[in-house]
Amino acid sequence: LVEQASVPCCVLSDSHYTNMPHSYGVRARTRHMFAKKFRQHGPIHLSQYLMKVKVGDYVDIFADPSVHKGMPHKFYHGRTGIVFNITKSAVGVRVNKLVNGRIIEKRIHVRIEHIRPSKCQQEIIRRKKENEATKEEARKTGKQVNLKRTPVLPKEGYYLDRGEVTTIQPLPFSDLV
């Protein structure tokens, strides 16, 4: 008994050492991913269950760790997809996945608790509305309008007016003794 206690736990024999066991489970390496944020614990809001989702909507997949049913695999956490099917308590989402250098469209079903509406289309929709309003204004006035997005251009060059130049000369050294 005394000899066994002195042997370290990770040594099987004199020549063979073992490391810590490695987990390849479904929720492996999700310690922070599947954890609720600080002061965000508690039951899910009813509005999450009553969220309106239509086929063709863009949704973000964010797994809620307090609901184990219908939870997506950790790969899909944070991904954006398009709704292709709606069931009683779940939503079918098309998500792109990179597999061996090619992108495959995966179709997964996720419960509504793990879904939130995506904001990825907001900028495009806003720009469409602005462009339509600009086109309508251009039709009325008869002017030609450029609707293309242009990158932020560098600042215009200018000459700096330096005003009067003053020359400063050093005073000769004088010993104060």
Tokens encoding 136 = 């309508």
The model's pLDDT over 4-18, given as tens digits with 9 standing for 90+, comes to 555 555 555 666 666
Given pLDDT bands bounded at 50, 70 and 90, which one contains residue 3? low
Among the residues of the chain, which ranges form H helices? 2-6, 46-49, 122-141
Dihedral angle over CA of 124, 127, 131, 133, nearest 10: 120
* 80-to-62, 88, 105 alpha-carbon distances in Å: 9, 21, 12
The model's pLDDT over 44-79, given as tens digits with 9 standing for 90+, comes to 999 999 999 999 999 999 999 999 999 999 999 999
Q: What pLDDT does 74 receive?
A: 94
Q: Three-class SS of residue 136? A: helix
Given pLDDT bands bounded at 50, 70 and 90, which one contains residue 133? very high
- The model carries a pTM of 0.70
- In this predicted structure, the answer to whether residue 175 has a pLDDT above a threshold of 90 is no
